[in-house]
């Protein structure tokens, strides 16, 4: 949600117009780092995001200067034994239910699959809907008492977070066992990588986790995000689930890792990746003196982004979190003031005030709902409002726009997702400096 990947041909040339090659760009709210990655060949990059999954992606894409030769072959060789050990232990516990799932996927019928789907346990609901008898020892895996042990020792063998939180929800049962086993193997390989420097270990782990996140995003049983999964209650959602659960997460992981290796963009710069509240980044005076341009891509709707990425955040943290609702959301998930109607204006004013205290030019990406098509703004704050605020702090404000259809996430309304992307240029001389 909110990725600028399809708008790079609009955003990147405008930044290059303002910035000579070799300068330093701060991507303040980096998200999936698509803009930073497109710029890293020609500029030194500093990225920041408060979400840990974003920081992991940044370490893989931005922090790493090059890819070790033979990384894909190395991954297949070093991960296999650890993966097999974890997977076989989980299979010994889940074998009966893996067989039932395989039978349903081979000959899908709505009513029996729905009964199996509704009855399957998960953490915070260990008894499912009690329509199918389940072994007491199997149910114990999902219990508060068992998960409490893992909360205290999340690196415990075997890894089983996804098997107990998300199986038969966002992913199939087999797929969840694969995710846990890949996560275990990655942890063990990095733990044993004594010949690597701390930064090399961080980059390698991040590349593996980013490839796993990409595989999961391909195979998730949802309308294109992790805010909720498809319930098996219609023939359509049954077909969707069967198609999604046919993927092997393990095969997709190696495929995505290979694609990462083949397409990786190297850099000569010493980049920096931060994982903190943006206000802390802007308070780093020594760092800000190195920055020539700040790129800001803030949230633009009342949908909290963390809801769309909470499964990836949990994969990265792997901490057996407290969770709620059918979506199994983390109780500690981050919620931004930019996504609250009561706070959005004051948050932008605070952001601009902080930015205007420093020297760099600022480029802000912001989306407005398309009023010409009668699509109302989600919380009464749009691009024109933000432009007016920018002029309160900057003497020279330029704007360029492009109409764009954002991800519809399964919404069939032809008007949904049609928005206007604003690029707002706040050039360095500010009203604070004038005074």
Residue ranges of domains in the chain: 5-64+270-302+340-434, 71-263
Q: What percent of the chain has pLDDT over 70?
A: 88
Determine the pLDDT at residue 384.
86
Nearest 10 degrees: CA dihedral of 358, 361, 365, 370? 110
Determine the pLDDT at residue 303.
55
d(CA 414, CA 383): 22
Which CATH code for domain 5-64+270-302+340-434? 3.40.50.150
Determine the pLDDT at residue 69.
82
d(CA 150, CA 158): 10
Rounded mean pLDDT of 412-417? Answer: 48
Its pTM stands at 0.91
Q: Check whether 359 has a pLDDT greater than 90.
A: no
Q: What is the mean pLDDT of the chain?
A: 88
Which range has highest mean pLDDT (127-136, 164-173, 298-307)? 164-173
Determine the pLDDT at residue 124.
81
Q: Check whether 435 has a pLDDT greater than 50.
A: no
Determine the pLDDT at residue 376.
41
Rounded mean pLDDT of 211-239? Answer: 90
Smallest CA-to-CA distance from 329 within 147, 128, 151, 124 is with 124
Token pair of 272 as six digits:
């920096």
Rounded mean pLDDT of 242-270? Answer: 96
Q: What are 31-64's pLDDT values in tens digits?
A: 999 999 999 999 999 999 999 999 999 999 999 9
Rounded mean pLDDT of 282-287? Answer: 95
Q: What are 290-343's pLDDT values in tens digits?
A: 999 999 998 765 555 656 789 999 999 999 999 887 788 888 876 777 777 788
Smallest CA-to-CA distance from 424 within 339, 374, 355 is with 355
- Phi/psi for 359 (5° steps) reads -80, -30
d(CA 209, CA 187): 10
Q: What are 366-381's pLDDT values in tens digits?
A: 887 644 443 344 556 7
Determine the pLDDT at residue 409.
46
Determine the pLDDT at residue 415.
45
Smallest CA-to-CA distance from 233 within 118, 91, 329 is with 118
Q: What are 58-113's pLDDT values in tens digits?
A: 999 999 999 888 999 999 999 999 999 999 999 999 999 999 999 999 999 999 99
Task: Give 60's Cβ-side CA count (13 Å radius).
Answer: 26
């Amino acid at each position: 949600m909110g990725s600028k990947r399809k708008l790079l041909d609009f955003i990147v040339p405008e930044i290059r117009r303002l910035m000579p090659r070799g300068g330093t760009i701060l991507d303040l709210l980096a998200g999936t780092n698509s803009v930073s990655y497109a710029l890293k060949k020609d500029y030194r990059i500093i990225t920041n995001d408060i979400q840990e999954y974003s920081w992991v992606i940044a370490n893989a894409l931005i922090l790493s200067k090059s890819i070790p030769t033979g990384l894909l072959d190395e991954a297949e060789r070093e991960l296999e034994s650890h993966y097999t050990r974890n997977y076989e232990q989980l299979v010994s516990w889940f074998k009966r239910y893996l067989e039932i799932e395989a039978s349903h996927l081979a000959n899908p019928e709505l009513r029996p699959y729905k009964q199996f789907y509704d009855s399957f346990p998960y953490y915070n609901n260990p008894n499912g809907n009690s329509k199918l008898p389940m072994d007491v020892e199997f149910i114990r895996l999902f219990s508060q008492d068992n998960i409490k042990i893992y909360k205290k020792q999340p690196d415990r063998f075997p890894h089983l977070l996804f098997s107990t939180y998300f199986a038969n929800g966002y992913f199939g049962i087999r797929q969840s066992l694969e995710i846990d086993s890949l996560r275990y193997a990655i942890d063990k390989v990095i733990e044993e990588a004594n010949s690597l420097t701390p930064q090399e270990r961080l980059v390698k782990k991040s590349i593996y986790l980013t490839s796993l996140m990409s595989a999961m995003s391909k195979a998730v049983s949802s309308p294109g995000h992790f805010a909720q999964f498809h319930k098996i209650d219609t023939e359509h959602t049954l077909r969707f689930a069967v198609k999604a659960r046919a993927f092997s997460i393990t095969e997709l992981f190696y495929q995505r890792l290979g694609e990462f290796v083949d397409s990786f963009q190297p850099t000569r710069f010493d980049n920096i990746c931060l994982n903190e509240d943006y206000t802390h980044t802007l308070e780093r005076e020594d760092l800000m003196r190195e920055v020539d341009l700040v790129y800001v891509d803030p949230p633009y709707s009342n949908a909290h982004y963390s809801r769309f990425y909470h499964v990836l955040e949990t994969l990265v943290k792997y901490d057996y979190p407290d969770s709620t609702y059918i979506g199994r959301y983390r109780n500690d998930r981050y919620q931004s003031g930019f996504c609250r109607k009561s706070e959005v204006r004051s948050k932008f004013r605070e952001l601009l005030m902080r930015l205007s205290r420093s020297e760099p030019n600022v480029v802000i990406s912001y989306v407005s709902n398309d009023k010409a098509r009668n699509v109302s703004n989600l919380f009464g704050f749009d691009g024109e409002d933000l432009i007016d605020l920018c002029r309160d702090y900057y003497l020279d404000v330029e704007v360029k726009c492009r109409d764009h259809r954002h991800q519809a996430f399964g919404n069939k309304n032809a008007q949904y997702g049609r928005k206007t992307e604003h690029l707002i240029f706040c050039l360095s001389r500010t009203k604070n400096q004038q005074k």
